Amino acid sequence: EIVLTQSPATLSLSPGERATLSCRASQSVSSYLAWYQQKPGQAPRLLFYDASNRATGIPARFSGSGSGTDFTLTISSLEPEDFAVYYCQQRRSWPALTFGGGTKVEIK
């Protein structure tokens, strides 16, 4: 099983600040990685697929990068609606899909 480790577990930032979230895979997943955002009481929302392809309707302040084992989700300037939990997910080993444990971005 491919294990995805997200760091940090919690990120405390203020609106307007830059957020950098990390996802590290236990073995190469090539570029087969997605990012999701989940707010309390809501379903996850797809942000990026194949590491850097922005999903429909996702604002440009979000960017995804990386390949192999190291991936980054960056939010260039946090808006109030961006405070949420973010998950990465790999499909390299389909159908044995796995998710990371999540990073919570909270208001400082």
Partner 1 sequence: QVQLVESGGGVVQPGRSLRLSCTASGFTFSSYPMHWVRQAPGKGLEWVAVIANDGNDKYQADSVKGRFTISRDNSKNTVYLQMNSLRAEDTAVYYCARDRKVAAADYYFDYWGQGTLVTVSS
* CA distance linking residue 97 with residue 78, whole number of Å: 29
Contact 45, 37 (CB under 8 A): yes
Number of amino acids touching partner 1 (CB under 8 A): 22
Residue closer to partner 1, measured from CB, 19 or 34? 34
Q: Which of residues 5-64 bind partner 1 (CB under 8 A)?
A: 34, 36, 42-46, 49, 55-56
**Nearer to partner 1 among residue 14 and residue 42 (C-beta):** 42
Q: Nearest distance from residue 16's CB to partner 1, in Å?
A: 28
**CA-to-CA separations, 12 to 1, 4, 17, 26, 46, in angstroms, rounded:** 31, 22, 10, 26, 22
Eight-state DSSP code of residue 55: P
Binding residues for partner 1, rule: CB under 8 A, are 34, 36, 42-46, 49, 55-56, 87, 89, 91, 94-102
